[in-house]
Chains A and B, each alone.
Chain A
Amino acid sequence: MIEAALQFALAAITLAILLCAWRLFRGPEVPDRLLAMDTLYISVVALVILLGMGWGTRLLFEAALIVALLGFVSTVALARYLSRGDVME
């Protein structure tokens, strides 16, 4: 039963990532693309966790943690760049 649920979740999240990619290319505004990136990396965190579960390894959780950290920092930096024109003051 878990196998089936895992496959379902993997399919759903892959589809979610494709939808994010569509919004990323489609825009139309720059913040839209940034928002799509943000949602995309959150979905990737979920995907990596699920892969770790399916492959029976705990190593991938650290990969997920790094994706989460980098995703947040880059969203913050880019959003600040959009509203301030620079990242550091």
Chain B
Amino acid sequence: MMTTMTMSDLPLWAEILISLMLVTGGLFVLIGAIGMVRFPDFYMRLHAPTKATTLGVGGVLLASMGYSWQTGHFGAGELLIGPFLFLTAPVSANLLAKAALHLRVPTRAEVPPDIPLD
């Protein structure tokens, strides 16, 4: 699958920086997913995607952008995806939490009794 890959001669610092961002990005997306599988209740699992977007996808996008610049291509489309995911993740997390509270999904920590859930 990766046979079409052609890596031009990048300066060493650029290679190190881009590789570092790739590894960090991949790791944090994976850590987010592990958290989502591991944690015992829904509200704890909810913390996973915010983590996956910020450092995870952020690292991957920065790496891709840096790589396209280094290979002489004006690529900045990542600047659209990154902020979009960063700004929408809190919105979907909030709506998911509201849906779960409405459906009375069980939680390990007690919800304060006077909170309107509907």
Question: Do A and B touch (CB < 8 Å)?
Answer: yes
Chain B residues whose C-beta falls within 8 Å of the C-beta of A76 in the assembled complex: 91-92, 95
B103 touches A31 (CB 8 A): yes
How far apart sit A36 and B18, CA to CA, in the bound complex (Å)?
29
- Closest 3 CB pairs between A and B? A9-B26, A12-B26, A5-B19
Q: Out of A13, A16, A65, A72, which one reaches B77, CB within 8 Å?
A: A65
A79 touches B96 (CB 8 A): yes
Q: How many residues on chain A are close to B (CB under 8 Å)?
A: 54
Chain B residues whose C-beta falls within 8 Å of the C-beta of A53 in the assembled complex: 63-64, 67-68
Interface centre among B46, B64, B78, B105 (most CB of A within 10 A): B64
A61 touches B25 (CB 8 A): no
B103 touches A30 (CB 8 A): yes
User: 0/1 per residue, A19-44, Cβ < 8 Å to B?
Assistant: 11011000001111011101100110
Chain B residues whose C-beta falls within 8 Å of the C-beta of A10 in the assembled complex: 26
Interface of A is mostly: helix
B64 touches A50 (CB 8 A): yes
A2 near B: Cβ within 8 Å? yes
Chain B residues whose C-beta falls within 8 Å of the C-beta of A46 in the assembled complex: 25-26, 29, 56-57, 60
Nearest Cβ in chain B — how far from A15, in angstroms?
A: 6
User: 0/1 per residue, A40-70, Cβ < 8 Å to B?
Assistant: 0011011001101111101001101100110
Within 8 A of A (CB), among B2-43: 2, 4-7, 10, 15-16, 18-20, 22-23, 25-27, 29-30, 32-34, 36-37, 42
A35 touches B26 (CB 8 A): no
22 A-B Cβ contacts within 8 A?
A2-B18, A3-B5, A4-B19, A9-B23, A11-B26, A12-B26, A15-B33, A16-B30, A19-B37, A22-B37, A23-B45, A31-B103, A35-B36, A49-B61, A53-B63, A53-B64, A64-B81, A65-B80, A75-B96, A79-B98, A82-B102, A83-B95
